[in-house]
Chains A and B, each alone.
Chain A
Amino acid sequence: MKVRHEILNGKAVIAFLACGYPNLKTTEEVAYALDRAGVDLIVLGIPFSDPTGEGSALRKASECALKMAITTEHIFDLVQRVRQSTSIALAFRTYANVVFSYGTVPFLKRAAHLGVNALILNDVPYEEKEEFASVCRAVGVDYISLVTPTSKDRLENIAREAQGFIYLTSPSVEDGSIETIRRFTSLPMVAECGAGESQPEQLAQRAAKADGIIIESTIMEMMADYGDNAPEIVGAYAKSVFEAVKGHSHLKKRVESPTHTRVIPTRTASSNP
C-alpha cells in the first residue's frame, strides 16, 4: 500500500488543474505556485473532446486546450518539466479513451516513469476498473476510486478495493456514507468542493469532515479571469486555503518545510518496474 496515513499529519489540500487552460505555460507556472503554497497533490486534467458530467467550465477548458492542438504527449512533457523542479505528488485525471487509445500499458508505464502517482478516470466506475487498476498496480500508480451520494450498496466493495485515497465527489457524500467507508478502509477520504464553495473557512469546515479537500472550480475561474497573472493569484488563494485547512486540523504535526509530507509519497523512476 503506497499511500497510508501520512495524511494524518494534517488535512490534505489537493488542487485540480485543467492542462493547457489557458495554455501549457500557465499550467506549469500555476503548478509551481501550488507547490510553493503547500498543496499536497496536484491533479492534472488531460483534456478530452467530450467531457460529461463535469460542468461547462471544464468543457470550456478542454475545448480551449484541444483547439491549441495540445496532446497527451505535450502533457507528458509538461509533467517531465514539473518533475525537474518539484517533488509534489501528481495525479492524472481524464477519460477512459485518452488512456485506452494511447494504450493502457504504455500510458501508465510512461506516467509512472515520469513520477505520476495516481490516476483518476471520470467514466470508469468500480465495475469496469480492473482493466485499468490492474495495470496501475503493476507499474506502481494508485488507481483512485470515486464515491458519490448514489454509490449506496456498492460502497463496501469500492472502499475495500480502493487505493491511494477515496475521492468523494461534489455534491457532498453524506456523513453516513463516510462512516460506512471508514469501516472498510483506512485510506484517507478527500472531498471535492463544488462551485460556490470557495471561502477558505468554508473549505476548512468541509475538510474537517473528511481527511482533506479537492479544490477545482475556484481555480478554474481564476485561470479564466486572470490569464498570465493566474499563477500569483491561484498561489495566494491556495496558500490561504492551506492555512485555513491546516489551522482547523486537530493534529498539527505537520512541520512546514519546503519538502513537506505528502499525501502520496513520490517515487523515482528507478523504483518503477
Chain B
Amino acid sequence: MSKGRFGKHGGQYIPEVLMDAVIELEEAYLSLKDEPEFREELQTLLNTYAGRPSPLYFAEKMTRDLGGAKIYLKREDLNHTGSHKINNVLGQALLAKRMGKTRLIAETGAGQHGVATATAAALLDLECEIFMGEEDMKRQALNVYRMRLLGAKVTPVLTGTRALKDAVNQTMEAWTQRFHDTHYLIGSVMGPHPFPTMVRDFQAVISAEIKKQILAQEGRLPTCVMACVGGGSNAIGAFYHFIQDTEVRLIGCEAAGRGASSPDTAATITSGRLGIFHGMKSYFCQDEYGQIAPVYSISAGLDYPGVGPEHAHLHDMGRAEYVSITDNQAVEAFEYLSRTEGIIPAIESAHAVAYGRYLAPRLGREDIIVINLSGRGDKDCAAIARYRGEDVVE
C-alpha cells in the first residue's frame, strides 16, 4: 500500500533498488522519534549547539515604517550555520548514526543545507559528500569553501541546469549505488516517504516556538505566518503547529524569478501542475509532455521545480495561500530589512520579507504578521552587489 500521502500528493515514486533503504529509514525513524533518549539527545544539541530557541523579534521600526500590522521576525538566521537547515540536519544525522550509517550524502542549492550537513558530519564523526550544481558553486563560492573547511567533499554536478534539481538527481543516483553505509540526508520536505514527514517533524520546532513566544509576548495567535517556499521546509516548519488554528493565515512565498508567467521562474504552485518527480506526487514546473522545466530564481535555495507534497495538499485544501515574489522584489526586501532593522536576510527569506512589506499596510494595527526569517544573508552579499551592478571581491 502506498505510504506517506498528503491528500493525493506524496508517496514513494523511486526506483525499486531504493525501496529497501527507505523502508529501513522509515522503520528506524518510527522507532526512534518518540524514544525519550533520542529526543533528549536531539533537544540538547538543538539548545546547546544550534542555539535554540531562536528569538521571536518584534520589528518595531519596520512596523512603524509600513504603518499597518505588527511585524515579528522568527530569527532562524541566528541558528548555528546561519539557517533553519540545522534543525533537520541534526535530527537526521543523529538518526543515521543510530542506524549504524557512517556516511552522509546530501544535495545543496544555496549551500546552506550542505554547510549544515557538513557541520553535523564533523560533529558526529561521519564521512560527508555534498553534491552541488556547478552553477550554484559559482553563485555560492563562500559556502563551497565552508563545506570543505568542515571536512566535506563537495562534488560538482555537471548535468542538466547544473542547479538544485540536478544535484538531487545525482545524490539520489549516488544513493542507489551505495546505501548500506550511507544515509541520504534530504534537505527539504520533499522526496519519497518518509522524508516529507520526517523533515517536517524536525522543522516543526519553529512553529512550536513561535506559538509559545507570540502567546507570551502578545497573548494571542498571529493573524498570519509567512515564509519562503522552495521545497518548503522552513515554511512547513513555521506553519505546522498553526494548521489546526484555522484563524491563522498561512502564506508561502514562492520565487517568481523574472515573473511567474515568464519561463524564468521557480514559482511551482503558481505556474506548475500535478506530476511525479523526485519520489513524490506534487506540483512541478514541467512542459506538456512531463519533461521537468529548467527553473530560475536569483535565489539558489528556491531554484527548484517542485514543492513538498504537504504544501501541495495545503494549497488544494485552501488552508495555505501561495504567492510569488520576483527577483527584484526580493532584492528590494533584502536591502530594506538590512537598512531598516539592521538584519541582512538570506535572499530566500527576503522573498517572505517582500510579501510582508506588501501585506502589512493592508492589514490593521491590531493584526500580527510573523515572518520566518529562515537564514542570514552574508552568503548573498556578493551576488546581490553584482545584481546591482557592483563588483564585490569576496
Q: A residues within 8 Å of B by Cβ?
A: 48-53, 59, 63, 66, 71-73, 95-102, 122-128, 130, 145-152, 154, 169
Contact = CB atoms under 8 A, between A and B. Distances in A.
Contacts of B160: 49-50, 63
B15 interface: yes
A128 B291 contact: no
Contacts of A95: 276
A101 B20 contact: no
A148 B16 contact: yes
Contacts of A99: 290
Contacts of A49: 160, 291-292
B13 interface: yes
Contact of B13 (A50, A124, A154): A124
Given A52-B15, A73-B289, A146-B16, 15 more contacts: A49-B160, A71-B289, A72-B290, A95-B276, A98-B290, A99-B290, A101-B288, A101-B289, A123-B13, A123-B276, A124-B13, A126-B19, A127-B19, A148-B16, A150-B16
Given A100-B275, A150-B21, A122 B289 contact: no
A99 B292 CA distance: 13
Contacts of B19: 125-127, 150-151, 154
A169 B13 contact: no
Query: By CB atoms of chain A within 10 A, which of B1, B14, B290 has the most?
Result: B290
A98 B292 CA distance: 10
A71 B288 CA distance: 9
A139 B276 CA distance: 22
7 contacts: A48-B290, A52-B15, A97-B286, A125-B16, A126-B19, A127-B2, A145-B16
**In which size bucket is the chain B interface?**
35 or more
B172 interface: yes
A125 B12 contact: yes
B169 A50 contact: yes
A130 B13 CA distance: 12
B20 A151 contact: yes
Contacts of A73: 289
B257 to A, nearest CB: 18
B3 interface: yes
A97 B2 CA distance: 17
B58 to A, nearest CB: 44
Contacts of A72: 289-290
A100 B15 contact: no
- The secondary-structure label for the interface of chain B is mixed
A73 B13 CA distance: 24
A97 B275 contact: yes
A52 B176 contact: yes
Interface string B260-291: 00000000000001111101000010101111
B17 interface: yes
B1 A127 contact: yes
Contact of A96 (B2, B13, B16, B165): B13
A154 B3 CA distance: 15
A78 to B, nearest CB: 15
Given A50-B160, A50-B165, A102 B14 contact: no
A122 B12 CA distance: 12
B338 interface: no
A211 to B, nearest CB: 19
A169 B177 CA distance: 13
Interface string B32-61: 000000000000000000000000000000
B342 to A, nearest CB: 42
B159 interface: yes
Contacts of B292: 49-50, 97
Contact of A125 (B15, B284, B289): B15
Contacts of A50: 160, 165-166, 169, 277, 292
B391 interface: no
Contact of B16 (A63, A66, A147): A147
A74 to B, nearest CB: 10
Contact of A102 (B18, B173, B290): B290
